[in-house]
Chain A
């Protein structure tokens, strides 16, 4: 476009920017909203509290699945393994006499611990092979639970230890714990994606081989994502147990969880920070309206996911954010001074810009 001299002039006119007034306002607003949500159990009905708890769980698993697929390129069909481990881990620990909420927190740690050796096994595979191998991994845990009579075998088990609290207290504690877990999860992913590691992860997302060739430690990046995503799903499992009080292996280890995660992330926007949250809110609404439709509801979810994958692969947020150049929770960088600010049409540039700015620092 321009000669070498012009190029230098142009470069000096460029500046790298992360925050915009809009994203500052929005991120501040999000923090304020999280703070305001603390008062829900006090001010609103038990029904609303329980529903919001399940919304937070959906947000958590959507964000976790997006971390794997959207940034690590890992399509897992087996994250329900950790949802089940989080739930059954809580039951096991509470049976040992541990205070049930402490058991939940420990079960979350346990999920993370299980995912470390699992990552060494499963991350040897790529693409579809990783997808099914992770599914087999989940099946193994489902079968082990159905073989254990002390865990209720196939007929399920309830967390009776929670009965020591009154219904209203229980609901409120579970809600606060879920709110805290969701906020921590979102905060962690936000900080992670903005860190040096985040730039590597976004580079892996854009082109794994190219990232490796410039020295990004691809395997380490993927392992960190896998462990975080598994710990987060463990939290979602423990919270699901506390929210519903009763679990059956065939539903807590069900591949339907994966179907939900894929739907939320595809509809909201794969590889964006805001997308999965939007997808979770949409699924939450759909569940409320259509869950009684049984099979047809899942047919609709499957068809919608396919259509989004084919026609709008960047999802609602990816498409809107790209068109208007907005990032409400900025994890990338913006280059000011070019003809057009904001994300490039391919979505590749933000990672490259990130790499450039890192190199200059």
Chain B
């Protein structure tokens, strides 16, 4: 039964990873950039929410929405100021500038908030403590279900947005060929900036959930980036549902790893990731013959 419990907890954790990962996947899909500051932006979102709750005493949900609006602007500005220039100089430069940005964000947070851990758990109300007890060893927390639900809604929403709306179509067109998209009237600069805005919003939302279900500190970013990336790679690049599945696999690997030895949770996730890399480098969803 403890194993069943581990798997159920792993799937809920996986929902969180999928939420964390979808922005990384979106930016790679649209701009072909792997944003190495993704984890630090998630942590920035969490700290922004924390500051709003702390200073304005608005309810958590109001502070979160305000923070997400600001983070959309951050993503927009990130694209316009940093990534747009970086992209012009080839594929190497965006990696170096986003890595530099991650270092800057992490250390600015460190100077502003000290290395202490923070949590939003106390502000989230009953949702952090409520759970459904199935058996003695099996209980499902309300927060886990909430995060999983939000993850499915966000990923489903992104999927519908890309598939059905005109901006979504413009985004896919720009992703395939920015020059041709320009020819038919798409403003690729604006499309890129909006995609970056959306990606950063999803990262910030995941960051806030991290602070609600556990704690964050200024140096939490790199680990979150790595987990997000693992979810994306395990699921296969370019597929949002793959990312959800990748999140589940990573989450289950980590909770099973923690079951074996509490200290090896992250290690188990890394090993599954490296195994996928070694044997199915296109992700677990990809058909074998299609591997490049």
Q: Do A and B bind each other?
A: yes
Stretch from B145-153, B162-170, B199-207, B269-277 at the A interface: B269-277
Stretch from B101-109, B180-188, B190-198 at the A interface: B101-109
Chain A contacts for B111, CB-based, 8 A: 294-296, 299
C-alpha gap A27/B175 in the complex (Å)? 48
Bitwise, A82-122 to B at CB < 8 A (1) or not (0) is 00000000000000000000000000000000000000011
B:243-277 near A, CB below 8 Å: 261, 263-264, 266-267, 270-271, 273-274, 277
Bitwise, B29-67 to A at CB < 8 A (1) or not (0) is 000011010000000000000000000000000000000
Chain B contacts for A301, CB-based, 8 A: 103
The yes or no answer to A172 lying at the interface (CB within 8 A) is no
Residue of A with least CB distance to B105: A302
C-alpha gap A77/B92 in the complex (Å)? 12
Q: Is the CB of B28 within 8 A of A139?
A: no
Residue of B with least CB distance to A128: B34
Q: Is the CB of B97 within 8 A of A309?
A: yes
Given A127-B34, A136-B273 in contact, is the A299-B104 Cβ separation under 8 Å? yes
Q: Is the CB of B95 within 8 A of A310?
A: no
Stretch from B4-12, B69-77, B82-90, B209-217 at the A interface: B82-90
Chain A contacts for B281, CB-based, 8 A: 124-125
Bitwise, A275-298 to B at CB < 8 A (1) or not (0) is 000000000000000000011101
C-alpha gap A127/B95 in the complex (Å)? 8
Give the shortest distance, in Å, between B140 (CB) and chain A (any CB): 29
Q: Is the CB of B263 within 8 A of A129?
A: no
Residue of A with least CB distance to B89: A313
Chain B contacts for A121, CB-based, 8 A: 274, 277-278
A:289-338 near B, CB below 8 Å: 294-296, 298-299, 301-303, 305-306, 309-310, 313
Q: Is the CB of A306 within 8 A of B101?
A: yes
Chain B contacts for A302, CB-based, 8 A: 100-104, 107
Q: Is the CB of B34 within 8 A of A125?
A: no
Chain A contacts for B274, CB-based, 8 A: 121, 136-137, 140
Given A299-B104, A299-B108, A302-B103 in contact, is the A140-B267 Cβ separation under 8 Å? yes
Chain B contacts for A305, CB-based, 8 A: 96-97, 99-100, 103
Count of interface residues, chain B, beta-carbon cutoff 8 Å? 45
C-alpha gap A77/B128 in the complex (Å)? 36
Q: Is the CB of A129 within 8 A of B34?
A: yes
Bitwise, A258-273 to B at CB < 8 A (1) or not (0) is 1100100010001000
Q: Is the CB of B100 within 8 A of A306?
A: yes
The yes or no answer to B13 lying at the interface (CB within 8 A) is no
Q: Is the CB of A310 within 8 A of B36?
A: no
Chain B contacts for A131, CB-based, 8 A: 34, 36, 95, 99
Given B100, B102, B229, B267, which contacts A303 in the complex, CB threshold below 8 Å? B100
The yes or no answer to B20 lying at the interface (CB within 8 A) is no
Bitwise, B106-120 to A at CB < 8 A (1) or not (0) is 111011000000000
Give the shortest distance, in Å, between A318 (CB) and chain B (any CB): 13
C-alpha gap A129/B25 in the complex (Å)? 11
The yes or no answer to A56 lying at the interface (CB within 8 A) is no
C-alpha gap A296/B103 in the complex (Å)? 11
Residue of A with least CB distance to B268: A143
Chain A contacts for B155, CB-based, 8 A: none
Residue of A with least CB distance to B35: A128
C-alpha gap A131/B38 in the complex (Å)? 14
**14 A–B contacts from the bound complex (CB under 8 Å):** A124-B281, A128-B36, A129-B34, A133-B277, A136-B274, A139-B270, A147-B263, A259-B99, A294-B111, A295-B107, A295-B110, A305-B96, A310-B82, A310-B86
**Interface positions of A (Cβ within 8 A of B):** 69, 73, 75, 77, 121-122, 124-125, 127-129, 131-133, 135-137, 139-140, 143-144, 146-147, 255, 258-259, 262, 266, 270, 294-296, 298-299, 301-303, 305-306, 309-310, 313
**Interface positions of B (Cβ within 8 A of A):** 28, 33-34, 36, 82, 85-86, 89, 91-97, 99-104, 106-108, 110-111, 222, 225-226, 229-230, 233, 237, 261, 263-264, 266-267, 270-271, 273-274, 277-278, 281
A259-B100, A295-B111 given. 9 additional CB < 8 A pairs? A75-B92, A131-B34, A131-B36, A136-B274, A139-B270, A143-B270, A299-B108, A306-B101, A309-B97
